[in-house]
Amino acid sequence: MFYGSLCIDKGALKLTHQKINCLIALLFVSLLGNSWADEKLDMLKNISAAGAPVLTLKMIDQAQPKFDVDLFEWILWEQERYSILSQWQQWDDLLVRIEGLPGDLPEQFKAQVATYKIRAYLEIGQTATARQLLREQLWQPTAGEVTEYQTWRRQVIVSYLKDGRIEDARIAMLRFNQDFDSEDEAWLILRATVLIQAGRYDQAIQILQVLDAWQAELTNLLAQYRSGITSHKAVWDLVKRETTSKELQPGELPTLWALGYYAAQQMSAVDRVVALEQLFMSGMTSPLELFRIPADRLWEAYIEYAQLVGNRSELLVGDDAKWLELAIKATKITPVKARSLFAQLMLRSPDREIINSAAEGYMLSFEVVDESEQNLLNQLFNKSETFSDATGIPSLMRYQLVDLALKRTDIEEATRLMSGLSSYPTGTSRFKWQLRQARVLILGGRYEEGNQILESLINEYREPTAEDTDRILQVLFDL
């Protein structure tokens, strides 16, 4: 089996801007006419696939009828809404939407909603809640007659895998096999995943070798690597080749780089950093459980590589000025090395000035902070346990992250980053920064904190300029 020979439908990938504009125009015409709902939904699916989920959801809001006016069509639109939210991993938004549903809905649709809800809890790591919901569904007298029954049984297996309960997952897998004669691709990949986690690589390879999908081929390659059939060099070379030589399906790029990271565990520290940076720069999560790696693993890789560099350079632990000097020197020639050294200082130095200098240096190590770099920063500082508390993020980095969050219109994340931030960026006035902070906190629901900052500003600026007055009135309006 050769992964490189995989045939890919390129037409299912990104659409051109011209096609997107045509789709939007056609959609508005369709919404004004009497076209069937499934035709409108097909257009929305294309727009979402082109990378415009926010636009798609807004259009659903406009087109979806009230559930008490046309229940059938309302369900069609609602199902598409859940599909889009799941595709773009907006799990919190999905759960909020589901919690607000009316109670008087068809049982078949309620079963579908339960499946989405359970998946959302699995994806955000609340496996105990997911299993409680699964018990509620599976213990119903008529559960076996529901279309979703097999899906729920598989979700039980996934919950065990996420908790590291491999033997429980294996037993649940065997029981599923006994109860159902299922040979669909998703089930075979899940079976192989359990077997790989259990160290039964030969059985996993036997299951996967007859499948052609990229998900199966990469899972098979991981099984071959862990069993010793394929070398780490062969895997690494394939990852480097495939990530640069062809267009990829959504979810394929992060899966490849996760595979590259596994191979790099038998290679050098710098290779591990490179693989993880590329993984998190992709801005996507692998759809396969085996290839999901937490962002904290990159912090660990940075520290490992930085310590190796420090030892080679005979730097003393605690001599942060020398570490910072070495990092700055490495920035242009070996930026990966520089970022590793800067990361070490951000996490280990007790000197606040050194920490902020390291944060600045980390940002300057990128030629440009484009979408890929923003994805990386988002994962490292907003999605990691290392900085689960935003107050631990260097203030200079928090300013940058706030700007990036606001550019994405992510008020929730901007609120988290701005909360408790008493300093302000160099080159801006304290008034403008704190007024902006108050507005973001108010829009993000932290009314008391935003109100306190606003009251302080009003008391301090008793005779503000007309411009300042307009700014304050705008925030008061938001409040």
Residues 75-102: tens digit of each pLDDT: 998 999 999 899 888 899 999 999 999 9
Residue 19 has a pLDDT of 40
Whether 14 shows a pLDDT value over 60: the answer reads no
Mean pLDDT of 257-285: 97
The pTM assigned to this predicted structure is 0.80
Residue 474 has a pLDDT of 67
Whether 312 shows a pLDDT value over 60: the answer reads yes
Residue 68 has a pLDDT of 85
Whether 33 shows a pLDDT value over 50: the answer reads no
Whether 72 shows a pLDDT value over 50: the answer reads yes
SS3 45: helix
Whether 454 shows a pLDDT value over 70: the answer reads yes
Mean pLDDT of 111-135: 97
Dihedral angle at the C-alpha atoms of 371, 376, 380, 382, nearest 10 degrees? Answer: 20
Task: With CA atoms as reference, report the closest residue to 211 among 236, 186, 193.
Answer: 186
Residue 17 has a pLDDT of 41
Distances (CA, A) of 53 to 37, 38, 63, 87, 429: 19, 18, 15, 9, 36
- Tens digit of pLDDT for each residue in 197-214? 999 999 999 999 999 999
Q: Spell out the alpha helix ranges (H) of 124-165.
A: 127-138, 149-162
Dihedral angle at the C-alpha atoms of 26, 30, 32, 37, nearest 10 degrees? Answer: -150
Let me know: does 202 contact 226? Beta carbons within 8 Å.
Answer: no
- Tens digit of pLDDT for each residue in 321-358? 999 999 999 999 999 999 999 999 999 999 999 999 99
Whether 23 shows a pLDDT value over 50: the answer reads no
Neighbours of 470 (CB within 10 A): 10
- Tens digit of pLDDT for each residue in 407-440? 776 777 888 887 877 777 776 767 777 777 777 7
* Rounded-to-integer distance, Cα 403 and Cα 266, Å: 38
Tokens 């590793």: give the residue: 340
Q: Above pLDDT 90, what percent of the chain?
A: 61
In this prediction, residue 21 has a pLDDT band, given cuts at 50, 70 and 90, of: very low
Whether 64 shows a pLDDT value over 90: the answer reads no
Whether 22 shows a pLDDT value over 60: the answer reads no
In this prediction, residue 163 has a pLDDT band, given cuts at 50, 70 and 90, of: very high
Q: How far apart are the first and last CA of the chain?
A: 61
Whether 30 shows a pLDDT value over 60: the answer reads no
Neighbours of 178 (CB within 10 A): 8
Mean pLDDT score of the chain = 86
Residue 196 has a pLDDT of 98
- Tens digit of pLDDT for each residue in 393-405? 998 898 888 888 8
Residue 467 has a pLDDT of 66
Whether 48 shows a pLDDT value over 80: the answer reads no
